[in-house]
Amino acid sequence: MIDLKRIRSDYPAVASALGRRGTDDLDRLERVRELDEDHRAVETQRNEVRSEIKGLSRTVGELRRDGKMDEAESVAARSRELGETERELDAREEDLQASIRQLLLVIPNLPADDAPDGAGAHDNVEARRGGRDAEVWDEHQRVPHWEIGEALGILDVERAVRMSGSMFTMFRGMGATLSRALCQLALDANADAFEEIRPPSLVLGDTMVSTGHLPKFSDDAYHVTRDDLWAIPTAEVPLTSLARDEILAEPDLPMRLMAHTACFRREAGSAGRDTRGLLRVHEFDKVEILAYATPEQAADVHADLLARAERLLDELGLAYRVLDLCAGDLGQSSRRTFDLEVYAPGVDQWLECSSVSWFGDYQARRAHIRYRPAEGGSPIPVHTLNGSALAVPRVWAAVVETHRQPDGSVALPAVLHPYLRGATSIGP
């Protein structure tokens, strides 16, 4: 969340930055300022009352030592009255603190200065394109992946829906092998610098709050109400909380982590929109890469995460583009995000397959993740960064559409061959 001290010290700058998102959160920000002023006034009053009580307690002791019991009792009665006032002020202070925190939890992060201006997705800036030419395709590649999958027996949507309902899918045979191979490729490609983690798939509410997924996006998450646990929408959630409530050593930064997990998203409000095949599903596999860094390291780490995600798409022989998200399209917690989109010729769409984001200290303040500077001094919140090294469904779709052959088979990219038990293609 936004640093409350910064709101106090430079409110106009914070309001100006938040206004670049074009949101309604300026009213919430103003309410935070009002509540904070009330909180500090109540805190000052409470401290004055507490100081007066301490003084009266000393007076009571002196009067009793001097045998002035009636006077001592009168002063003690006054102290008890002030004690009740102190308790009321304590309760008021706690209520104000809670109200401020609840507002800060839903106010989004401030965009980075170099994030493009804009109101929504239509204002995002295409930074570059990579991989194969996105304009040149043969007719046999213009077949949607769900038709390819059905013809080859590698994608079984009908039975998945029968098992679990709409927007669930099931890979079979070489389709499942391809899904696993994509994830193993992503893990191996990042094993040079990232520690592999296999975190829990169900987490506490506080873990979801730490990344900003709660309270604002509860409708998009699966909640196991009986145990009050949440199914993770991305491995970003547990990886961010790996060092929650801890103080790290600066020499250990940047700390790099990766995880292959299932991800669960309700996709509330998406019914009927891009729901065919693998375009939008409730459960999917993904390899996430994440880092804790100092503010000085963050830019280089962000560039490295993006380069690693791009490299995999290039090695898979896919057409892709990099979008620099404008301020109005940034996610709740992000200061700067680059989206990677692959082009799928069969559905004739650019499909988002990775968001590589720098969150500043926004998530770290929620999760209380700090580091102690090497030169000494008070602990400082870390900066968190993350991205999808590879998300299976849409990359899988782009691979089978891009590499479909005239005879209906799919020629699998050479970079995947070590993971395919000797197979190099999927035949009809």
What CATH number has the domain bearing residue 318? 3.30.930.10
In a domain, 55, yes or no: yes
In a domain, 128, yes or no: yes
Structural domain boundaries enclosing 330: 121-426
Give the pLDDT of residue 108: 97
Tens of pLDDT, residues 241-280: 999 999 999 999 999 999 999 999 998 655 556 778 999 9
**Same domain (yes/no): 278, 310:** yes
How far, in whole angstroms, is CA 284 from its chain's centroid? 17
Q: Please tell me the pTM assigned to this model.
A: 0.94
**Same domain (yes/no): 201, 272:** yes
Give the pLDDT of residue 24: 81
Q: Which of 106, 139, 172 is the last residue of a domain?
A: 106
How far, in whole angstroms, is CA 65 from its chain's centroid? 63
Give the pLDDT of residue 381: 98
**Same domain (yes/no): 397, 271:** yes
In a domain, 114, yes or no: no
**Same domain (yes/no): 290, 416:** yes
**Same domain (yes/no): 265, 208:** yes
Contacts for 162-166 with beta carbons within 8 Å, 24 or more apart? 164/282, 166/271, 166/275
DSSP characters for 223-291? EETTTTEEE-SSTHHHHHGGGTT-EEEGGGPSEEEEEEEEEE---TT-TTSS-STTSS-SEEEEEEEEE
In a domain, 316, yes or no: yes
* Cβ proximity of 386 and 289 under 8 Å: yes
Closest C-alpha among 171, 143, 185, 168 to residue 344 = 143
**Same domain (yes/no): 87, 139:** no
Phi-psi region of 186 (alpha: psi -120 to 50; beta: other; left: phi over 0): alpha
**Which two three-digit tokens encode residue 326?**
């404008």
* Cβ proximity of 35 and 139 under 8 Å: no
In a domain, 113, yes or no: no
CATH code for the domain of 68: 1.10.287.40
Q: What are the residue ranges in the chain where pLDDT is below 70?
A: 268-273
* Cβ proximity of 259 and 238 under 8 Å: yes
Tens of pLDDT, residues 328-383: 999 999 999 999 999 999 999 999 999 999 999 999 999 999 999 999 999 999 99
In a domain, 115, yes or no: no
**Same domain (yes/no): 45, 152:** no
**Same domain (yes/no): 166, 298:** yes
- Which helix (H) or strand (E) segment holds residue 45: the answer is helix 25-65
Give the pLDDT of residue 272: 57
**Same domain (yes/no): 137, 15:** no
Give the pLDDT of residue 271: 56
Q: Which of 106, 140, 173 is the last residue of a domain?
A: 106
DSSP characters for 159-215? HHHHHH-TT---B-THHHHHHHHHHHHHHHHHTTT-EEE---SEE-HHHHHHHT-TT
In a domain, 201, yes or no: yes
**Same domain (yes/no): 127, 101:** no
If one counts the domains in the chain, the total is: 2
Sheet bearing 370-372, strands edge to edge = 247-249, 370-372, 380-381
**Same domain (yes/no): 128, 192:** yes
**Same domain (yes/no): 314, 269:** yes
Q: Which of 73, 106, 139 is the last residue of a domain?
A: 106
Give the pLDDT of residue 270: 58
In a domain, 111, yes or no: no
